[in-house]
Amino acid sequence: MKLRPSSLCAHGLLAAFATGMTWAVGSFNHTPAIAAERIRLALDPLQITISVTSLEQFAKTGVVNRDLAPFVKRLDPTQREQLRQLLTKQLPIPPVVVSRATYSPMAESFLRRIGLVIQQDQRINGFYALRAAALLAASDPNEGLTPLNFLRQFPGRDIQIDIRTVLYLLREYQTQSAYRDAAVKAIAAEAQQESANQATPNVAQLPDLRQPGPYKVNKKTVTFTINAIRPTKQGIAPSYPLLVDFYLPENVTQAPLVVYTHGFGATRDNNDYILQHLASHGIAVAAPEHIGSDLQYRADFLKGEVSDILSPIEFVSRAFDTTYLLDELEKRNQSDPEWKGLFNLEQVGVMGASFGGMTALGLAGAEINSRRLEAECKETIPIFTLSPLLQCYAQYLPPTNYTVRDPRIKATFAAYPLAGAIYGPEGMAKVETPTLILSGSHDILMSPAVDDQIHPFVWMQNVDKYLALMVPGTHFSSSEDQNVAALPELFKGPDLATGRNYHRTLAVAFFKAYLTGDRQYLPYLSQTYANTISQPTLELDIVRQLTPEQLTQAYGRTPPKPIIPPPVTATSARRESVLDEIRRTRVLKVAVRSDAPPFGYLDTKGQWTGYCIDAMDALRSQVETQLNLPTRSVEVVRLPVNQDNPLSLLPQGSAHIECGPNPIIQSKTVDFSEPFFISGTQLLVSTTQQPTPDITSIGVFNTSNTRAIAKLYPQTQLTPFSGTNASSEALQQLQEGRLDAIADAGILLLGQLTQRGAALDQFSLIPNRPLDCQFYGFALPAGENRWQDLVNGFIRTPAAIQVRDRWFQNPYKTTLSTLEYCSQVGR
């Protein structure tokens, strides 16, 4: 069914409402005092209104009132019936899911952009009204969340549609579509030009790589325990299980290995067919499950079991999953007979789809550019594709250079990658491996080909590169049918079977050529060969190069967006104050010790807990009050640090504050607040020892303790501990009698014992008066006087005192004598 422009506008408007409700969530839990009575389409001086009552009557009875007639009369009978059904179609989304989503930066960004079009009275951005209406409609036990009920629940008398913005968006869509079509033509012309200069392969003598290879495939799943910090659905965990599916060609040793990284909200076996196909051709595949962005994590978010749909650190953690996996395989290849000789770890490639394609490019060398993201992610115009919303999550990462390149990766295959905003030309220019990008020309839902694949292909330099464009392909053109069965045909695109065949052929040929060095497979990567398998329903164009001049010439004028935008530097000195940055981003970045109970640590379930967690939540409220921001509008992003890297995130602008047992010191790079706690160095010994034991060995954790202990106990052997498990290793050696004592701040020693459930009566802190006194303050970026004043004022508030009293009672009362003694020393 082809819609005329006027009917397209009516359908599009209601689709926008439905989409807004799917994403919308709110914090309101009562019926609005004034509910919407009419929709007002404003284009000064013209004002057109449609009453909500007219829409309701039309939906229920089909009667068209006078105010609705100019719109409905343009629809044929089938379209009228579809519109009536759409108005009353219920979206079965529970209120709790709607409510949870309001705190997702992705949903907020989406709704703020939609709010530029769908506004409240006096042209106020409709963000708060949109999420309120969605929650109120979802909470309605009678009708639930329908477009019509959504309109009824919209706060205020009028729902104002900014027609000027709508017309701008229509013009923008037409312009972008025209440029996309020109880019497709430019690629087709370049592909045929390259074909004219290529040797014609004897297709009859080339094996058909669309067919399975000669090897039987064995699939097995292995769980690796990775001892590294990672976001999980339970929170930041000090270690995590990494589930990996291996696809192994039978009776093949020293097989080249491809690591497959799945997409956002997907699973490791989402594209099982291509993984099986590679293995049948003698290429082993390892497919890890990225537990911070897989299907289960997305489901847990919708159930309210995790606070956000995506953690910013996941952009880095996914790549580290691959690096840790390769580390494990190297270890087992050396020591485990079952794994020895299974893979050739000098021939490792990476393949990813969608979000996984972005991960693959990072492993190949592409670097996240925070300054580029800052420019790309401004909420100035509405957007309706998911790619920028997902990529813009990375702007909440600390602003530093992120290099996740793994030199073991020798070739990269990225299918439909999200790459435009997050990497930019600066990041893509750092790709170091031969790379093939697979793209669908008409991807209008997930990652537009021009922004995320065609321009990034142009940006790559000094590497063997291929762009394979399926026309008119989409984001799902090589998906398995059952994975996209629920999608409309517009999003799926035509002839998925042909798309899968292209994917099979290109993947096998690319990895055979660039992992094993077999040049016999290079002809498959040429347009000359593509011409022999390309189908009219879904054409395939392959190019090795593409220039901005070719794209501009095909378009016939200056492209709507610079093909190579002006350069920006990935990192820069702080250009705005901490408070101004928090006001702009609504994010409070907090560095917290993950190994220092009771200040900050991960409990047995991997959840953040401790004084610092509660104190920073209370500080968030103080900041919101100071900046006149709505309650809970500022998100607290916790960045883990440990005893080996304290104060490391502040100088580079990666954190606004660090909370932990940080003694106040003189520093050129960081400032400190007033003291919020006082402690001192003591020795933890077993109670079986005498009051003045003969101490010959002491475990120490940091340089200040080392110096103090070495001065007081010059004949004692000092055993240093570092790393994530330093405290537990030292405590174990103390319990086994391999150490006589452990030296640290008394509060931290008690905290470690308490966290581990140790019997406190089996240990003692000596001496009663500490060996030194340490005044702990919140660490802050240097020169931030307004921020320092706010934090100092916060320390004296009842909320901060209440948090301190709650955390430093039993069993930490034994440290009160230290507090009293050091307070006197301080005076």
Q: With a cut of 70, say whether residue 349 has pLDDT above it.
A: yes
Q: What is the pLDDT of residues 768-787, one digit of tens each?
A: 888 888 889 999 999 899 99
Domain of 521, in residue numbers: 179-197+207-555
Claim to verify: residue 672 and residue 750 sit in the same structural domain: no
Q: With a cut of 60, say whether residue 245 has pLDDT above it.
A: yes
Claim to verify: residue 655 and residue 697 sit in the same structural domain: no
Tell me the CATH number at 652.
3.40.190.10
Confidence tier at 72 by pLDDT (50, 70, 90)? confident
Residue position matching structure tokens 């794994």: 339
Q: With a cut of 50, say whether residue 9 has pLDDT above it.
A: no
Tokens standing for residue 155: 């706060």
Claim to verify: residue 632 and residue 540 sit in the same structural domain: no
Percent of the chain with pLDDT over 90: 42
Whether residue 246 contacts residue 220, with contact meaning beta carbons closer than 8 Å, is answered with yes
Residue 738 lies in a domain: yes
Strand partners, 235: 232
- Edge-to-edge strand order for the sheet containing 435-440? 217-226, 240-249, 284-288, 255-261, 343-353, 409-415, 435-440, 465-471, 539-543
Residue position matching structure tokens 């910090």: 229
Q: Worst-scoring range by mean pLDDT, 13-27, 188-202, 285-299? A: 13-27
Confidence tier at 105 by pLDDT (50, 70, 90)? low
Distance CA 144, CA 140 (A): 5
Query: Backbone dihedral region of 495: left (phi > 0), alpha (psi from -120 to 50 degrees) or beta?
Result: left
Strand duo 284-288 + 240-249: pairing = antiparallel
Residue 242 lies in a domain: yes
Distance CA 542, CA 534 (A): 11
Stretch 435-439: mean pLDDT: 98
- Three-state DSSP class for residue 781: strand
CB under 8 Å to 246, separation ≥6 — which residues?
Answer: 219, 220, 221, 222, 284, 285, 286, 287
Residue 563 lies in a domain: no
If you average pLDDT over each of 8-22, 36-50, 252-266, which comes out highest? 252-266
CB count within 10 Å of CB 485 equals: 9
Residue 167 lies in a domain: no
Q: At what angle do helices 5-23 and 163-196 cross, to 10 degrees?
A: 100
Confidence tier at 24 by pLDDT (50, 70, 90)? very low
Q: Rounded to an integer, what is the distance from CA 591 to the centroid of its chain?
A: 19
- Three-state DSSP class for residue 154: coil
CB under 8 Å to 536, separation ≥6 — which residues?
Answer: none
Strand duo 681-686 + 763-766: pairing = antiparallel
Distance CA 189, CA 795 (A): 67
Higher per-residue confidence, 91 vs 207: 207
Q: What is the pLDDT of residues 376-394, one digit of tens each?
A: 877 566 566 788 888 888 8
Distance CA 530, CA 194 (A): 12
Tokens standing for residue 253: 């040793």
Distance CA 767, CA 684 (A): 9
Q: What is the pLDDT of residues 795-812, one digit of tens each?
A: 999 999 999 988 887 655
Amino acid (one-letter) located at 326: L
Whether residue 457 contacts residue 535, with contact meaning beta carbons closer than 8 Å, is answered with no
Query: Which pLDDT score is estimated for 235?
Result: 62
Tokens standing for residue 769: 């008066």
Instruction: Give phi and psi for 211, each to the nearest 5.
Output: -90, 155
- How does DSSP classify residue 822? H
Distance CA 71, CA 64 (A): 10
Amino acid (one-letter) located at 775: F
- Average pLDDT in the chain: 84
Claim to verify: residue 326 and residue 243 sit in the same structural domain: yes
Claim to verify: residue 672 and residue 686 sit in the same structural domain: no
Among 597, 618, 619, 620, which residue's Cα sits nearest to residue 607?
Answer: 597
Claim to verify: residue 234 and residue 291 sit in the same structural domain: yes
Claim to verify: residue 297 and residue 436 sit in the same structural domain: yes
CB count within 10 Å of CB 748 equals: 26
Tokens standing for residue 505: 């052929």
Residue 568 lies in a domain: no
Tell me the CATH number at 384.
3.40.50.1820
CB under 8 Å to 664, separation ≥6 — which residues?
Answer: 672, 675, 775, 776, 777
Claim to verify: residue 622 and residue 528 sit in the same structural domain: no
Tokens standing for residue 612: 């610092």
Q: With a cut of 70, say whether residue 722 has pLDDT above it.
A: yes
Tell me whether the omega of the peptide bond preceding residue 456 falls within 30 degrees of 0, making it cis: no
Query: Which pLDDT score is estimated for 49?
Result: 87
Claim to verify: residue 739 and residue 804 sit in the same structural domain: no
Claim to verify: residue 390 and residue 464 sit in the same structural domain: yes
Higher per-residue confidence, 333 vs 694: 333
How many distinct structural domains can be found in the chain? Answer: 4
Q: What is the pLDDT of residues 352-373, one digit of tens each?
A: 999 999 999 999 999 998 778 8
Amino acid (one-letter) located at 749: L
For the residues of 571-634, what is the DSSP string, one character each?
Answer: -----S-HHHHHHHH-EEEEEEESEETTTEEE-TTS-EESHHHHHHHHHHHHHHHHTTPPTT-S
Distance CA 34, CA 564 (A): 49
> Which helix (H) or strand (E) is 527 found in, with range?
helix 527-533
Amino acid (one-letter) located at 100: R
Q: What is the pLDDT of residues 140-176, one digit of tens each?
A: 888 888 989 888 888 888 888 888 888 888 888 889 9
Q: What is the pLDDT of residues 656-701, one digit of tens each?
A: 999 999 998 888 889 999 999 888 888 888 876 555 457 888 988 8
- Three-state DSSP class for residue 659: strand
Claim to verify: residue 348 and residue 306 sit in the same structural domain: yes
- Three-state DSSP class for residue 11: helix
Residue 452 lies in a domain: yes
Confidence tier at 14 by pLDDT (50, 70, 90)? very low
Amino acid (one-letter) located at 299: A
CB under 8 Å to 48, separation ≥6 — which residues?
Answer: 40, 41, 70
Query: Which pLDDT score is estimated for 2?
Result: 34
Claim to verify: residue 732 and residue 819 sit in the same structural domain: no
Residue 169 lies in a domain: no
Percentages (nearest 5) of helix, strand, coil residues in the chain: 40, 20, 35
Distance CA 586, CA 624 (A): 9
Residue 171 lies in a domain: no
Radius of gyration of the chain measured on its C-alpha atoms = 30
Distance CA 39, CA 558 (A): 38
